Chains A and B, each alone.
Chain A
Amino acid sequence: MGGGLIMIVFDRVNKYYGDFHVLKDINLTIKKGEVVVVIGPSGSGKSTLLRCINRLETISEGSLSINGLNVADKKTDINKLRRNIGMVFQHFHLYPHKTVLENIMLAPKKVLGQSVEEAKKIALKYLDKVGIGDKANSFPSQLSGGQQQRVAIARGLAMGPEIMLFDEPTSALDPEMIGEVLDVMKALAHEGMTMVVVTHEMGFAREVADRIVFMDEGRVLEEASPAEFYANPREERARLFLSRILNH
């Protein structure tokens, strides 16, 4: 952590779905190069929090800014903001009608205006990086879940984002494929990517996170370094959660 640039700031953010209060007074600051892991029971608002960052969800109150740019402001060019934020979903959401290479090249071509050769070069580079350079011409349906998720990560990286968001990236995977995806994410973290990760992978959180954010019922209950959090969670609710998730 230390003195990095401030990238993401939640300032008293609230969100409602009708009467349902999903996010309650969220205050959270994330610096450049930080890896923040958000954990908590299901329904605690973790995914919603993450999805607010690239405005897949809109906030109801408060302010949320990325690099000083107000995300909620109608004047903010959301497409421009999103170029800078890669997102990886639980269910991959690769484009099934396009090859792996086309999946990765689409946004760089259409959004950044890269030439086909340029986009292809970059796509291949990231495919190699996630360890499946040989699958460039396969269709998503021909890949295993772990491979698909690695393609999804490469697709996010090809835009050259400053921030990567991960929404339970391993929850839909068979157990033996979780490792290969986490390894890619670890490598990314070590290269200094700013990452916000919603996950139940406690090993990953402990090893890679700079900070753990524990959420419950729409609130951030606790923020701590992994060492602190796992050794001695301050909140009773966090203690209960940890005992359940670690002793199963």
Chain B
Amino acid sequence: MDFAGAYTPDNLKFLLEGFWVTLQVAFISIILSFIIGGLVGIIRYAKVPVLSQILALIVETVRNLPLLLIIFFTYFALPEVRIKLEIIPAAIVALTIFESAMLSEVIRSGLKSIDKGQMEAARSSGLSYTQALIHIILPQALRRMVPPIVSQFISLLKDTSLAVVISLPELTHHGQIIYGQSQKYLIPILILVALMYFIVNYSLSLVAQRLELKRT
């Protein structure tokens, strides 16, 4: 084990560059999957005819595939049908597809957990279904959904490391490159990589806990 040799300024800079890519890919995928997953969850909750059945089929399919396979699809299989994605977009697309499916389920069940009397009271007062959703159901459901949504975000951030298989230049990949130079660096680098993931993810869950405390 050679900590001093592993933690040179150049290596640290290289790791941070990888971590920066991890954060960027995760951030973009989180935003996209929150929007797409949110819409899918709402459409399925509202039981929009035809559309919600089609979406149910897609969500069930995606949810039951390994993320790794989806990454292979977007990077290796899509070019076969003349859709060529660079590494970073391919990773973002794969993560977004997978996490949207997961998040849509979180959001749908959050919406379903709101007492149906709330919808009835809102509709009885003359509000349209959409108005009731926006003003009554969604705000209540969102508060309840903060913890599961954040834990989904944490999964997503960790899942970016799977894109190592398509050589996404993210944290885990950069770690591999460094300890590839010498077996002595393996443990020091893995510890540091683990620490970086942990700090960001643990901060996220602390924020979630704070949000949860605030509403009670």
Contacts and interface: CB of A to CB of B under 8 A. Distances in A.
Contacts of B128: 79
A155 interface: yes
Interface stretch (B40-48, B82-90, B133-141): B133-141
Contact of A79 (B126, B135, B136, B143): B126
Nearest to B129: A79
Contacts of A97: 139-140, 143
A107 B127 contact: yes
Interface residues of A, number: 25
Contacts of B136: 95
Interface stretch (B50-58, B59-67, B114-122, B172-180): B114-122
A79 B127 contact: yes
A143 interface: no
Contacts of B158: none
Given A95-B136, A97-B143, A106-B135, A111 B117 contact: no
Contact of B127 (A54, A87, A110): A110
A107 B115 CA distance: 19
B124 A85 contact: yes
Interface in A70-116: 79-80, 82-83, 85-87, 89, 91, 93-97, 106-107, 110-112
Interface in A103-146: 106-107, 110-112
Given A89-B117, A93-B118, A110-B131, A159 B139 contact: no
A89 B124 CA distance: 10
Nearest to B119: A93
Nearest to A104: B125
Contact of B135 (A86, A87, A94, A110): A110
A89 B120 contact: yes
Interface of A: 54, 56, 79-80, 82-83, 85-87, 89, 91, 93-97, 106-107, 110-112, 152, 155-156, 159
For the complex of A and B, 9 pairs with smallest distance between CB atoms:
A107-B125, A93-B121, A93-B117, A87-B124, A83-B126, A111-B126, A82-B126, A79-B126, A97-B139
